Structure 1
Amino acid sequence: MSAITGIFYRKGKKVDPHLIQKMNDKLSHRGPDGSHTWVEDNVGLGHQMLHTTPESLHEKLPFIEEDLIITADARIDNREELAKKLDIADVETVSDSYFILKAYGRWGEDCPDKLLGDFAFAIWDRKKEILFCARDHMGVKPFYYYVDEEMFVFGTEIKALFEVGGVPREKDEKRIALALMVNDFQEKERTFYKDIKSFKAAHYMAITKDSSKFKRYWKLDPDLEIRMDSDEEYMQEFLKIFTEAVNCRLRSPNKKIGVMLSGGLDSSSVTCTAQKIIEDSDLEKEIHSFSFIFDDFPESDERYYINKVLEGTNIQANFVKCDNISPLENIDKVLDYQDQPTTSFQIGLVHELNALLKSKGLNIILTGEGGDQVVSHSHNYIEELIVSFKWIKAYHTLNNISKVRKVNKYRLLKNKLIHIIQFYVMKIPTLYHILKKPFPLKDFINKPFLERMGIKEAIFFKSKKMNNITCKSEQYYLTQKVAHQNNFEVIDQYNSIFQIENRHPFYDKRVIEYCYGLPIEQKIRSGYNRYILRTIMNGFLPEEIRCRVSKANIGLASIKNLLSEKEIMNKIVTDEQNIIKEYVNLESVKDLYSYNLLEKISIFKIFAWRIILIYLWLEKVNFKTNNKLY
């Protein structure tokens, strides 16, 4: 949760030290523990420090050693391994950024692939006159940049880039179109600002005065298979890897560690594993859980399961009551920090959660994010068995799932057959593509706008996921093709207001690779998905949670509270400035609000929410070409 900034004038123009400091100042909310810059001729690097590891207490960035200068926002998890290879002492006074610098000195462009953890960094190599940058495997740490023939400018948040003269502040209308079509799941690089890019996860770049090299250093091997001799071996290895992934993320100078506890399998597994690590070691840590609860929405409330996890532990529980928290709660403050429209209904809830975390003196929180995708629900297993003519096995699997989930097996089979016909035989790209009138969504977006963007037809929720007939191909898609980094970036900026860092054990590279390579029988068995996680949690989790196959929908209150926001909806359709009219048909949007379609079909809620956020963003941002000179 620190911040990095930088400028490289490729034609030799000297960097003004005051300019790099102005970039830092724009991100001062992220790093209250120190602000430093380094400038030499046509290169400048900056850093805002937030102490999130014990080693960071001894760290000052940018850091210089001989001809290498580094700025970084990083937590390196394989310090012990690197220490042996690089002949570095793995002690608290040696920072994570020093490990990165030494890794670059030893391996050059291959260094990011040698690192584990969450990181975004830039190294200026004086000898080679190269600015080398890299982002972690899943894009947990944010990194934005602008590059042209004259300069390369980067920062942890987009707002810092606009301090540099010549960086354009123009809206990217293609990105707006994709957002309105709810068709931006795979947008990893394009931002809402023209020519401002999000540095893609698992990539590095090497920038010189006349060349720009971008290269992917890691991707999940689609053919990866892990074979062991027994269930016990699979379980023990996964327990070891998962425990280490949680343990790495407990590194903090703070005695208090937060965990996001929803009561589901994933967050409960992280919580109980963290608690056991602390109990079995000499770590002087306290676990504080944070949970959303609902008094007026029993179908959203998970208190029963949350309290089951907390029973008999030393975990200090904290609750956020969410019944009356609107998605637009504190929206002005949120938009002051957010550089782009967000897509989450949970803005209001997260804001209240972070305020509570801050009041309790915490700046680290572990989450269960990614468990569904990484360990895998294996949704397509029955379809895969049917199309591969393994019908007896398909029948037994379907029978087991129907018993566990308490659903009619013939209805379940019918749904699976429809799924096969619709997406694999007829290849219909999206369910919403065939929605009957009235009010198909495509009527809400202005056709001339789409034509100007080169989009022939508005297709919603178009997803290559539909083409994945096997469980493995579906898991690959969900892990590698969906832009998780967009979610990380949004969450990171929510948290930056309160200097809070999220950590995600399920997105550890080791966990991802191991789970992906497992045989399907370790992922779904006896009617249960995520079988291996449920098994290793035997004895750690209460049975009611370990065997859960459903979870509550915490979004119901947010949607109800959104529907009550009539004032902003009326403002959008009556605003004399009509700042959004070139993108959407205001008369149709008015009908959308008036006829209560928001209460009936989920896609309308998502679409209405995106209109609101894009409108508020357009209203707040002053778009122009930045011609400031320094």
Structure 2
Amino acid sequence: MSGFFGIFNRNGEPVDKKIANDMLDTMSSWEPDERKLWIDGSVALGHAMLLNTPESKYEHLPLKKEAYILTMDARIDNREELAKEIELPDRPMDQIGDSEFILGAYKKWGEECPKYLLGDFSFVIWDEKKEQLFCVRDHIGIKSFYYYLDNDHFVFGNDISTLLSHPIIPYTLNDDTVAIYMQDEGVEKTRETFFNSINKLPAASTRTVSGGNVVEVFFWDIEKIPQISYNTREAYVKKLRELFEMAVKCRLRTDYPIASHLSGGIDSSPLAVFTARELEQKSAMLHAYNWINIPKDTDEYEYESWSFSRKIAALEKNIEHHEFSIDSKFMVDQWKTHNIFTKGTMYEWNEYYVQNSANSLGVRTILSGWGGDELITNNGTTYIEGLFWKGDLFKVLKYFYQEKKYEEISWKKFMKLALVRILPDVVMDKLRKKEESPIDSKYCLYATQYLSKILDLYNVKKFYNVSGVRNQQKMYYHNGHILERIESWGLMAFSKKLEYRYPLLDKRIVEFALGVPEELFYPKEGKCRHLIKDAVNDLLPSEILHFSKTDEVKVNHTYKRRYVEALKILKKEIEQIGCSDEKQNYINCLQLKEDLLKFDFKNNDPYELGKIITAYMLMRSLESV
């Protein structure tokens, strides 16, 4: 992904050229293909180019045309459609960069232009006539946008470290975000970051900033997506396949080798296979990565998600299947160097290996099936709950009766499962007389009393239960769950010259997922995710299409074992690590060290293990503040 940033002194003071150049240097730490700075009075725009699409080699950003100056990180997918509507340079389409399409759209539609754009984009246009900045972030939030705003300054970009290099921006931490991280071992937020002074531009929004005014507008509303109705189920399947192919094809626009995740599951597998077949027409290979370590020990079996990945690669002629084993030392190295404040909380240590390997192969695009489970490949488990709370008991009983025919369990056990399906988690916890809950102190292990008080307020507001597929899908969009991984991987990818693309989060597929009848997500004749499986049934072996179990628990056991091995290496360091006042403000260092001394490395509590690592990651990151 390309890097961009800007400074707007709203008080009219000229931009300090040294500050602007320092920010450009910070952003360019990964040695971009081209870097450039534009400064005029109180405004500066910077860009660090990652060449990727074939047309990008004709771009030089920031781009100035007439009274408009643009900087961006963007890929526009509806170029042919836009070309019929907007003014473009008089040269072949394959020599026109996406920046020209964005400026052309702005010149024609003004601040309404994001409504006409399809793709992944964050961009800023300085309008010299209006003396204002126009900032945009795409529909899903694939491209990041961070900013600092006060009465006199507006500083922005898609890299947090770059913003922090501006002397006006304080390093003061957002205590609410730190508290949430300590509890949830991640941060799912759509606006806030770890810094009080830095916020995110929400997905599907624009922000217009002038010397005396700031206006935020949403150009797309997930709550207003129209319902889709076809006469037959086959019509839904056909349309989904059409959208799937379009979403993948437009993300293959690159001059460099392509990589893809390949887990063996229903999200990444058809994506990898379809991509491989498209690349085969160009005599190109697809580099496919699976997160599961190669089974070596005699007590490790071939996990389905690992063996399916190998089988798929073996069936396709041009998939190079990359296998790896992450040892405890590799994990420790990442724990010591990963800064959660500037590189995100969805670190996924296996993805570091993927990025390192892809970078060494000259890859610049990684395709991921992330977002599928949450939206288009949703397993439909909340459909029954939705019907129940709408009062449609007849349909609930009908679906339960049909489902029982495909379950090889007793009626008594089935009814218990049915009860779990229709009652919210908090009610089930009461029925089980469960002592622990998502807001219990165990989940705040090693958080200080100060953070615990913050969490008491946060958890009162936190929404845990969702009834119905549609509400669940919207929740994943609104609560930052989908964004956390996208933003984290984006920040991590800078140093490896990589760009992530997510076909299953294509706006058209998202609108389809939220528009079709909810019942299409409910298991059909014992088959989960039947809509997507039928749409891609020619891409995968029937063995994989009809596989309904999961080896996630056993896979997680393997991960846990490697976490324990890594923690053994770190034990002495954590015991000796100093605890500054700031660390002690957030972390109960004494409790952490005491628990580590008596930690049972053979029969350990997974929650305690996770919390020790979470506290350690926070301690290391605090050293950078």
Map of 1:625 onto structure 2: none
Q: State the shift of 1:327 in Å.
A: 6.9
Contact 2:273–2:316 (8 Å) recurs in 1: no
How big is the shift at 1:438?
Answer: 11
The change in CA–CA distance for 1:242 and 1:396 in structure 2 (over 3 A counts) is: same
User: CA separation of 1:449/1:540 partners in 2, compared to 1, >3 Å: closer, same or farther?
Assistant: closer
Most deviating of 168-177 and 384-393:
384-393
Unaligned regions of 5+ residues in structure 2, if any? none
Deviation at 1:329, TM superposition (A): 3.9
Match of 1:503 in 2: 501
> Which of residues 173, 181, 184 in structure 1 aligns to 2:183?
181
Cα-to-partner distance string for 1:38-96 (whole Å, 9 max, x where unaligned): 11111010101111101101110000110000011100111111111114477111111
Amino acid at match of 2:589: L
The question of whether the paired residues in 1 share the 8 Å contact of 2:367 and 2:503 is answered with yes
- Deviations for 1:247-293, whole angstroms, at most 9, x for unmatched residues? 01000012x221111111110110122233345xx545432212233
Tell me, in whole angstroms, the C-alpha distance in 2 between the residues paired with 1:289 and 1:270: 11
Alignment of 1:457-468 (within 5 A): 459=459, 463-466=462-465, 468=466
Please name the residue that 1:287 is paired with.
Answer: 286
Distance 1:536 1:146, change over 3 A: same
Moved more, 113-122 or 440-449: 440-449
Confirm whether residue 97 of structure 1 aligns to residue 96 of structure 2.
no
State the 1:341 CA deviation: 6.5
Q: Distance in 2 between matches of 1:20 and 1:447?
A: 41
* Residue of structure 1 in register with 2:612 after alignment: 608
The aligned counterpart of 2:15 is: 15
1:30 is displaced (CA, Å) by: 4.5
Match of 2:622 in 1: 618
**Which of 308, 314, 321 is the equivalent residue of 1:318?**
321
Letter in 2 for 1:9: N
The whole-number CA distance in structure 2 between the counterparts of 1:284 and 1:315 is 8
- Taking structure 1 as the reference length, the TM-score comes to 0.89
Flag the 1:150–1:408 CA change in 2: closer, same or farther, 3 A: farther
1:51 aligns with 2:51: yes
8 Å Cα contact 1:299/1:552 also seen in 2: no
CA contact (8 A) 2:380 2:469 kept: yes
User: Is the deviation greater in 155-164 or in 56-65?
Assistant: 155-164
Quick one: which of 512, 515, 518 aligns to 1:517?
515
Corresponding residue for residue 160 of structure 2: 158
Counterpart CA distance in 2 for 1:345 and 1:402 is 40
What are the within-5 Å matches in structure 2 for residues 370-409 of structure 1? 370-375=371-376, 376-388=378-390, 393-395=395-397, 397-398=399-400, 401=403
Q: Equivalents in 1 of 2:591, 2:165: separation in Å?
A: 39
Q: Report if aligned partners of 1:465, 1:474 keep a CA contact under 8 Å in 2.
A: no
CA distance in 2, matches of 1:497, 1:432: 45
Give unmatched runs, 5+ long, in structure 1.
623-630
After superposition, residues 127-166 of structure 1 pair within 5 angstroms as 127-166=129-168
What is the 5 A alignment of 1:405-484? Answer: 410-418=412-420, 420-423=422-425, 434=436, 440-442=442-444, 444-451=446-453, 453=454, 455-456=455-456, 459=459, 463-466=462-465, 468-484=466-482
CA distance in 2, matches of 1:430, 1:603: 20
- Separation (CA, whole Å) in 2 of partners of 1:62 and 1:442: 45
Residue aligned with 1:39, SS: strand
Give the residue type in structure 2 aligned to 1:22.
D
Query: Partner residue of 1:214?
Result: 216
Aligned to 2:310, the other structure's residue is in SS state: helix
Are 1:561 and 2:559 an aligned pair?
A: no
Amino acid aligned to 1:617:
S
Deviation sequence 1:578-627 (CA, Å, 0-9, x none): 452222333443454434499655443443332111111012x13xxxxx
Residues 597 and 210 from structure 1, CA distance in 2 versus in 1: closer, same or farther, beyond 3 angstroms? farther
Report the counterpart of residue 303 of structure 1 in structure 2: 306
* Displacement after TM superposition at 1:398 (Å): 4.1
Q: What does 1:355-366 correspond to in 2, within 5 Å?
A: 355-366=356-367
1:56 maps to a residue whose letter is: S
Q: Percent identity?
A: 27
Is 1:203 aligned with 2:205? yes
Tell me which residue corresponds to 1:328: 331
- Tell me which amino acid in the other structure corresponds to 1:487: R
Name the aligned partner's letter for residue 616 of structure 1: R
Deviations 1:137-162 (A, max 9, x none): 12111221111111111122111123
Residues 400 and 43 of structure 1, relative CA distance in 2, 3 Å threshold? same
- What displacement does 1:447 show? 1.8
Pair 1:368-2:369 in alignment? yes
* Amino acid aligned to 2:489: I
Asked whether the equivalents of residues 347 and 488 of structure 2 are also in contact (C-alpha less than 8 Å), the reply is: no
What's 2:533 paired with? 534
Work out whether 1:275 is the aligned partner of 2:276.
Answer: yes
Structure-1 residue corresponding to 2:236: 234
Give aligned pairs, total. Answer: 612
Moved more, 14-23 or 596-605: 596-605
